[in-house]
Amino acid sequence: MDKQEREQFVADLIRLNTVGGHEDRVAHFLKAAFDARGIYNQVLPVENGRSNFYAEIGTGEIDKVVALEGHEDVVALGNPAAWDHEPLGAEIKDGKMYGRGTTDMKGGLAAECIAMFELADRAEPVRGKVKLLVTVAEESSPQNHMQGAQAFTKAGYLADVDAMILAEPSFGQLNCANKGSLTYAVTSKGKAAHSSMPQLGFNAIEPLMTFYQAQQAFFATLGAENPHLGKTVPVVTKIEGGQQLNSVPSTAALYMKVRTIPEEPNLMILDHLQELIDRINRQEGAQLALELLGQKVPVVTDPHGEFNQILHQVAEEVFDQSIKVCGSAAGTDASEMIKGNPDMTIAVFGPGNRTAHQVDEYMLLSTFHKDIEVYKQAILTYFG
């Protein structure tokens, strides 16, 4: 494909609205593109309106498998009036393509697809096997988060994979690790009463504040630091309590997002939080409850493994600059997919930048084109 064809392909992908579901639009768009090139592919329904997509090339002559991974959904557009560029317009200006998903991560997904098209078009067949795994629900709420990755994992698509590239935005770096996460709520039940007679009720906010202080003290004791991921990072993201100003609140809730590292596992943190809640309930007669809304395990892979060394070297050659190897604070589908094959090498390398989820999100087209070359050359070098 020439540059114009590549850019048309990613523009068509950006213009498909896949906010809050509707990933079928991408799955069927990809199917048509892969069908037109005679490449084996499948649309794999996950739930109504949401389908994973799978494609595969290569002779399998050698026993090496590389997976390319991306997701179809994007986050909400926000206020369209706040954008200087049409959110789904894929407008190109000064070497940048603007639109929701350019950075996170339809730009990266398009680069992976084009790499497969161009590998399949080579006169010499690809000797190993290249899989494309495209998921739904990566950007979804905790209740159905990573449904697509879970479906691929449970169906065994990762079992034979030696190395996987996720084309998430990597800011010009090669990420060989990503943090895990815990998303949870702590709810508090009390008893409503008139604010002039608080002794007749039980203020649900007060034990919740006791818990907040206790958990902050606990998090302050966590001192481990991963060389690629840094420290565990807790953030209070939402607090609710009461209904009106002249009543003792009967309910309250606190919501948390914790970015985790292997040295301080999710289960250890959850166990300690439950101990705090049990103690406060006993001592204060409170009714606190911990509700786990979602979690991801941290992923750390060897940056010096064969595939990651090849990918790193190729990236530096293509970009003609030093490429930093590091970890990412954000989570990815890898947290789910690693469960299907703990031995596979993981790398996050995509054309996105720090405008993910922002107004006027964009992607540098020069980076997009170079990433396609990196994917192709790294795969061919790995296959030998």
Catalytic residue numbers read 73, 138
B/e letters for 74-110, b = 16+ CB within 10 Å, e = fewer, are: bbebeeeeebebebbebbeeeebbbbbbbbbbbbbbb
Q: Structure tokens of 68?
A: 């390319």
* Residue matched to tokens 């009720």: 201
Pairing of strands 325-328, 174-178: parallel
CB distance 145 to 257 below 8 Å: no
Query: What is 32-71 written as a DSSP string?
Result: HHHHHTT-EEEEEEEETTEEEEEEEE----SS-EEEEEEE
Q: Please name the amino acid found at residue 291.
A: E
Greatest CA separation found in the chain?
A: 84
The rounded distance, in Å, linking the Cα atoms of 130 and 56 is: 6
Instruction: Write out 202-262 in H/E/C secondary structure.
Output: ECCHHHHHHHHHHHHHHHHHCCCCECCCECCEEEEEEEEECCCCCEECCEEEEEEEEEECC
The rounded distance, in Å, linking the Cα atoms of 261 and 266 is: 8
Pairing of strands 65-71, 129-135: parallel
The rounded distance, in Å, linking the Cα atoms of 203 and 97 is: 52
The rounded distance, in Å, linking the Cα atoms of 224 and 281 is: 29
